[in-house]
Structure 1
Amino acid sequence: MTREEKSIVIENLTTQLADSTNIYLADISGLDAGTTSNLRRACFKAGVKLAVVKNTLLSKAMDASDKDFAELPEVLKGNTAIMLSETGNAPAKVIKEFRKKSEKPLLKGAFIEEAIYVGDDQLDALVDIKSREELIGEIVGLLQSPAKNVISALKSGGGTIAGIIKTLSEKEG
C-alpha cells in the first residue's frame, strides 16, 4: 500500500469515527471464510457496519479524530475489526449471539457515546445498555402513568363535579 493510499484510508477512517457515536473493536482472528461471512450477514441484519482494519491506520485515525479514545488505541494488537452502529448495544448483541456458536469475535473495546469500555468482560454490560429510543420510550411511559391515573380516577368518580372533587380529595389524602 502506498503512502498516498494509506493517507486516504486514514482520512476515511477518521471520517467514520467522527460520524459514529458507537464504535466497537473486536478480534475476529481465526474465523474461517464461511464463519466470517455469517458474522458479516448477522451484522448487516442488525444494522452494524463491520470492517477489518489495519491497527496502525486505525490508531492514526483515532489520533486525528476530535474524540478522546483514552486507552482504546492500546488494545489495537493482532487482528482488529471495527463495528459501527447507530444503536449502542447492537454490536454487543451481535457478538454475544454469535458467540453461542463460535469462540469469536472477542470484544477488545468500545466507545459508546463518549464512554470507553475495554476488555471482553465488558460485553454483558454493553448488551444491557439501552438505546436512545428505549430510554425515551421509558420516560414517556413514566410521564404518561400519572395522567392515566388521574383520568381513570375522574372516570370512576361518576363524572359529576362532586364525584370529581371527592375522588381528587381521596387521592391527595
Structure 2
Amino acid sequence: MPTLSDKKAIVEEITKELEAANGLYITNYKGMSVGNMADLRTEFRKGDVRYKVYKNTMIKRAMEAIGGYDELYPYLNEQNGFAFVEEEFAAPAKVLKQYIKDNNKPEFKAAIIDGEFYGEGQLDALAAMKSKNEVIGDIIGLLLSPISNVVSGLQAQGETIAGAVKTIAEKGEE
C-alpha cells in the first residue's frame, strides 16, 4: 500500500506530465486484457504518445493543482487510461479510432486539447484534425501562391511588360 509520500510523488509526477502536455485524452479500459493494454500502449508509442494508467483521485489532484481541467472531472470514474499529447493533437485520436474499430475497446471518454474540451462523440473530429506541420504547410502555401502567380506571369510572357501584366490578370481571375 502506497504511503503518503509515495502518493505525493505520484501526484507530482502527474503534474509534470500535465504541464508538459498540450492535451489529454481519457479512455475507459474496462474489460481489456493485459495483452490488449500492452498492444494499445505499443500503438500509442508508435504515434509518440505517452499512455499511462493512474488512479482517478491522483490525477484529479494534479489537475486541480494546475487548473483548467474542470470539464474532465465528471469523467474521472471507472478504470481510466490517460494519453498525454505534446505536438500531434490528432495522434491519440487516430490510434484510438483504429484500435476501437479493431477491438471495440477502449471507450473514448473525453479530451482537452489546448484548453478546448472534446466530449465522447467527438473522436472522429479529433482524428480528422490536421497536425501543426500540416497547418503550417497550408499557411505557407497560401502565402506563397500570390508570389508564384507573379513569378509565373513574368516568366510566361517574358519579353513585354504588357504581356506579363495580362498573364497576371488572367491568373487572378482564376
Query: Do Structure 1 and Structure 2 share a fold, with TM-score over 0.5?
Result: yes
Q: Does 1:132 align with 2:124?
A: no
Whole-Å Cα distance in 1 between the matches of residues 16 and 168 of structure 2? 57
Per-residue Cα deviation, 1:130-164 (whole angstroms, up to 9, x for no partner)? 22211111100111111111111111113334433
Residue segments in structure 2 that go unaligned for 5+ positions in a row: none
Match of 1:142 in 2: 142
Whole-Å Cα distance in 1 between the matches of residues 134 and 169 of structure 2? 35
Verify the 8 A CA contact 1:72 1:118 in the aligned structure 2.
no
Residue segments in structure 1 that go unaligned for 5+ positions in a row: none
Deviates more, 1:97-106 or 1:55-64: 97-106
Q: TM-score, normalised by structure 2?
A: 0.91
Deviates more, 1:159-168 or 1:89-98: 159-168
Match of 1:56 in 2: 57
How many aligned positions are there?
A: 171
Root-mean-square deviation (CA, aligned residues, Å) is 1.7
Distance change (3 Å), C-alpha of 1:29 and 1:171: closer
Distance change (3 Å), C-alpha of 1:8 and 1:171: closer
Percent identical residues: 38
Matching of residues 1-173 of structure 1 within 5 Å: 1-65=2-66, 67-86=67-86, 87-119=88-120, 121-168=121-168
Distance change (3 Å), C-alpha of 1:142 and 1:172: closer
Displacement of 1:19? 1.1
Per-residue Cα deviation, 1:27-53 (whole angstroms, up to 9, x for no partner)? 112111221111111011011101011
Whole-Å Cα distance in 1 between the matches of residues 169 and 50 of structure 2? 57
Whole-Å Cα distance in 1 between the matches of residues 36 and 170 of structure 2? 64
Task: Determine helix, strand or coil for the equivalent of 1:82.
Answer: strand
Task: Determine helix, strand or coil for the equivalent of 2:109.
Answer: strand
Whole-Å Cα distance in 1 between the matches of residues 68 and 24 of structure 2? 12
Whole-Å Cα distance in 2 between the matches of residues 76 and 150 of structure 1? 56
Whole-Å Cα distance in 2 between the matches of residues 126 and 162 of structure 1? 50
Task: Determine helix, strand or coil for the equivalent of 1:25.
Answer: strand
Aligned residue type for 2:68:
D
